Amino acid sequence: MRPLTWAQLTATVLVSAVLACAASAQVASDPPAEVEAPTLRGDQVVINPQALPPLLPAVVVPQDSPPPAPPPPAGYVWNVIWTDETDPQAVRRLYPAHAYRENVSGEALIECLIASDGALTGCRVVRETPMGYGFGEASIAVARNFTVAPLTRDGRPTDGMRVRRNIRWAR
């Protein structure tokens, strides 16, 4: 048996993919379809398109408005009104030194508890990218300046609830 050429190998993979898609699209009650195998003519693979089983038509999903956001989990609030007046100079001073020297930008998602006065307490880093540059710790430090209103935009009280905030650090 002689080895397959690149074209034969590519065609074999494509035919296998088409047959696999067609086989997976069949309903369990349908009998398996007989499929004519491709033939080789010299260096070419010949496929009879009429011999392939029909594929399912594409399903089009209307793109109206997106579904409403799910309610936050118990103990969390969304739609908070940020009332902080963060000093940009103070934020610049908190930029991680190692990242600043290497001209690296990053971000961190933090989660905090909202105190009765609207201040954020007990913050923790949920995620930071890239790792190892200190964006998570810097985000917690800057969050000490953040405050939120006593009610969310939809009227839910914020006292004692948890909130998440993504902070981007751009160089």
Task: Give average pLDDT by consecutive 10-residue segment, the chain, 171 residues.
Answer: 50 48 49 59 63 59 63 82 83 91 94 95 95 95 93 92 93 79
Q: For the chain, which domains are there?
A: 6-51 (no CATH), 88-169 (3.30.2420.10)
The whole-number pLDDT of residue 66 equals: 65
The whole-number pLDDT of residue 74 equals: 81
The whole-number pLDDT of residue 3 equals: 53
The whole-number pLDDT of residue 49 equals: 61
Question: Tokens standing for 98?
Answer: 């190692």
The whole-number pLDDT of residue 36 equals: 61
The whole-number pLDDT of residue 44 equals: 65
Contact 65, 129 (CB under 8 A): no
The whole-number pLDDT of residue 28 equals: 46
